[in-house]
A and B are shown apart, each in its own frame.
Chain A
Amino acid sequence: MKPADKPDPESETTGLPGLHSWRAVYLVVSGVFVLWVGLLWLLMKRFS
């Protein structure tokens, strides 16, 4: 099991429009999480 020579994984392109780095992808995913929690909280407050 010999490790192959590969480029830095963080430098690999994401291929996503507007999100050119993996850091940006992770930030968006974290932002989506905050959005979900916010929406759940609003749902709870609105209907409790």
Chain B
Amino acid sequence: MTPLDYAVLFATLLGIAAYGAWCTRDRRDLNSYLKGAGQTHWFAIGLSVMATQASAVTFLSTPGQGYESGIGFVQNYFGAPFALILICIFFLPLFRRLNVHTAYEFLGRRFDTKTRLLGAALFLFQRGIGAGITIYAPAIVLSTVMGWSLDLTIVCSGVVVIVYTVVGGSDAVSLTQRYQIGVIFAGMVAAFFVLLAKLPAGLTLGDALTVAGGFHKLQAVDFSIDFNKRYTFWSGILGGMFLALSYFGTDQSQVQRYLHGSSLRESRLGLMFNAVCKIPMQFCILLLGALVFVFYQFERPPVFFNQTVWNREVQRATDGKLPALEQEFNAAHAEKQRLVRRWLDARHAGDPAAETAARSEALAAYDRSESVRSRTKDALAAANPALDRKDSDYVFVTFILNYLPHGLIGLLVAAFFAATMSSKAGELNALSSTTIVDFYRHVIRRDATDRHYVVASRCFTVFWGLVAIAFALFARMSENLIEAGNIVGSVFYGVPLALFLIAFFIRQISGTATFWAAVVTQVLVIVSYFTLSIGYLWYNFIGCAACVLLSLILQAVIGGPKPAATATV
């Protein structure tokens, strides 16, 4: 990065943060601090919901996933439109009618205090971890490739978010998210066009898609019913819907975003905007990764994308094994490149038989080069067992640093940090709101002044910000980064969703039956995750279904009072 890149990076990030803090510095009462001034337009709500969900991991890790495994991950989002429709029909009108600050306030109204606190505690636990992942994931990648200190990267990006979230509360989060998502989209669009411009002369977009498809990177929809596959149409529709229903309907970091709306209409349209845009947005990011794959069929990629680790291990090892593997990989790549060109020449010549033959040879060459990559990773792991073999999170950032013009590099790095900050700000705001409304004001200090609660909210924002930074500083994660977040979500989302579904639709179940069913089910889901090999998306459905079933059984055994009718659909 040059001084121009650093100027773009710091001006963008600090400018947005300072503007957000300045515009919202006068939030003095708890209602406007937690829910905003209540004047938010649907488009701003839609962007805010989108920015809270799309963290830097989305923009760093997802293209890597497209590069490595193709665009099949898009199926993960197939359930989202239906989940958002259900939230618009059932959840949102009730939240607004009851005028709640947090989703868990509704559980207290429908059931009892212990169930409300359980729902809030599950949220604080999983979102507290999630906030750590949000800040750690991009920091580890960016600090590695930039040569920055990991700890300093985590602390600096964390502190900036804490400052403006503390100052302006929910409105500051929404306001800054609008500009941050603008920076993110501008960066991604710029990267897309630079990528197209960098493809070899004469290679059309159709050729690029042919190459991507020929190497199985465009397998977008898989209708097979296989519980061991991570992403199929069915796991996306069912598991993805439960994940999205839990996330958008019961996770305070999202509920707080759309409760911001000036009316029910604005909140609903904000969610429908996401229902329409989520799938194409994820598709575009994955396609970007698939096109980076095509680009690297004509440009020699590094044998291991985490170049910092590679260079360190090459210098450390003295047996010459790693350089030999790199040479073997380069030769395999050159051979593959020749065969891919022959394949495209046959395609342009309109010779299907030659095209099929050349494609088969190119695929065989690809398998050989991947085999060398795999052996390289084995050799790296043998040299340093603590090393993370997965390098897909480094694919996109490596492309950016090596092929984008200066200035644009700064914009893209700013986009990654903007995504981290927008996501983390939403999470901190929600963690603070839940702590203050569901625990502090409800259990610890019931009769304090509004001003006292605003000060306490600011303190809890700082507290959760420091918890996230501490988690990020001490975390060591090996799973693909975006999947780490989704796995935590899937294990801890099914039960909270069940709490809300029971609250909405099964009036005869009491708080006590629901509470104990939730506790037992959550333990069983955690044990199942560590002992069974089921695709993780299914745990949303399993946890939710098991909790509902168990609460019905418990209710039949213990009985209990009927809940108030005002808090049900």
Residues of A whose CB lies within 8 Å of any CB of B are 1, 3-4, 6, 9-10, 12-16, 22, 25-26, 29-30, 32-33, 36-37, 40-41, 43-44, 46-48
Contact = CB atoms under 8 A, between A and B. Distances in A.
A36 B218 CA distance: 14
B216 A3 contact: no
Given A4-B99, A9-B97, A44-B221, 8 more contacts: A1-B105, A6-B93, A14-B265, A36-B279, A36-B283, A37-B78, A43-B218, A43-B220
Nearest to B90: A9
B272 A9 contact: no
Interface string B83-122: 0110011001100111110000100010000000000000
A29 B212 contact: no
B220 A44 contact: yes
A1 B276 contact: no
Residue of A12, A33, A41 most packed against chain B (CB within 10 A): A33
Interface residues of B, number: 41
A9 B85 contact: no
Interface of B: 71, 74, 78, 81-82, 84-85, 88-89, 92-93, 96-100, 105, 109, 209-210, 212-214, 216, 218-221, 233, 263-265, 268-269, 272, 275-276, 279-280, 283, 566
A8 B440 CA distance: 34
Given A6-B97, A37-B78, A44 B219 contact: yes
Contact of A1 (B109, B212, B233): B109
B280 to A, nearest CB: 6
Residue of A3, A4, A9, A13 most packed against chain B (CB within 10 A): A9
Nearest to B283: A40
Task: List 10 A-B pairs, minimum CB-CB distance, nearest first.
Answer: A47-B213, A9-B93, A40-B220, A33-B81, A36-B279, A47-B209, A44-B220, A29-B275, A26-B85, A48-B213
Nearest to B101: A1
Contacts of A46: 209, 213
29 contacts: A1-B98, A4-B97, A4-B99, A9-B97, A10-B89, A12-B263, A13-B265, A14-B269, A15-B265, A16-B269, A25-B272, A26-B85, A29-B81, A29-B272, A29-B276, A30-B85, A32-B276, A33-B81, A33-B279, A40-B71, A40-B74, A40-B220, A40-B221, A43-B220, A44-B219, A46-B213, A47-B213, A47-B218, A48-B214
